[in-house]
Copies of this chain bind each other. A is one copy, B any other.
């Protein structure tokens, strides 16, 4: 089976998993960008639990540099957390079938979590798309069109239907795996099942 990769561009643990796909040679995933905000709102929270729960939040910023060091990833704590990921998610859902989706995700995550850039900024997104050789202006226009906005809203409703409560979340058939710490287990299940992930070059 294919691994469905549900993530939010504002989520720091999603950053780890996006960056680890290429390291693990597993880039053939089903991309499922979505927004955590409406999920948290349904739980009665008006912000990330890493902001609302002070002790957990303080821990996360201690955990992230250690995790990034372990995986050989750059890290700078974002000066704004969580960043508004609406624009990035709209571009992501528009382009999730494109062969350059992984590159887009990596660059957007690095902008947020290594370069402390504001990914809600059209200029930032435009630079990333142009660097990938894409028509940034056309993509931004399509991303902001009503049908694409509706697509993202539907995706987030789909996340709720799956009972997704955080990100990253990996779905392999009916099985759910939550958190970057379960990426290896999720990949193992996807690879062991018929029509599993293809092993791709790292």
Residue of B nearest to A189 (CB): B66
Q: Which residue of B lies closest to A39 (CB)?
A: B55
For residue A176, which residues in chain B have a CB less than 8 angstroms away from its CB?
Answer: 59, 62
A121 to chain B minimum Cβ distance, whole angstroms, is 32
Cα-based distance from A166 to B63 in the complex (angstroms) = 14
A155-169 CB mask vs B (1 if < 8 Å, else 0) is 000000001111000
Copies of this polypeptide in the complex: 2
CB of A69, distance to nearest CB on chain B (Å): 10
Judge if A70 is at the interface, Cβ distance under 8 Å: yes
Question: Do B56 and A165 touch across chains, with their CB atoms under 8 A apart?
Answer: yes
Shortest Cβ gap from A62 to chain B (Å): 6
B70 near A165 with CB under 8 A, answer no
Q: A56-B165, A63-B182, A181-B181 are in contact. List 9 more A-B contacts (CB 8 A).
A: A43-B53, A55-B164, A55-B165, A56-B166, A59-B178, A62-B175, A62-B176, A63-B177, A179-B181
Our pick among B62, B165, B182 for the contact of A53 (Cβ within 8 Å) is: B165
Known A70-B185, A181-B181, A185-B66: A165·B59 in contact at CB below 8 Å: yes
CA–CA, A26 to B66, complex, Å?
A: 22
Residue of B nearest to A181 (CB): B181
Q: Does A132 contact B (CB under 8 A)?
A: no
A-B contact pairs, 14 of them (CB 8 A): A55-B163, A55-B164, A55-B165, A56-B165, A56-B166, A59-B163, A59-B165, A59-B178, A62-B176, A63-B177, A63-B178, A63-B182, A70-B185, A179-B181
Q: Which residues of B contact A66 (CB under 8 A)?
A: 185
Whether, in the assembled complex, A144 has its beta carbon less than 8 Å from a beta carbon of chain B, the answer is no
A166 to B59, CA, bound (A): 11
A157 to B: closest C-beta gap in Å: 14
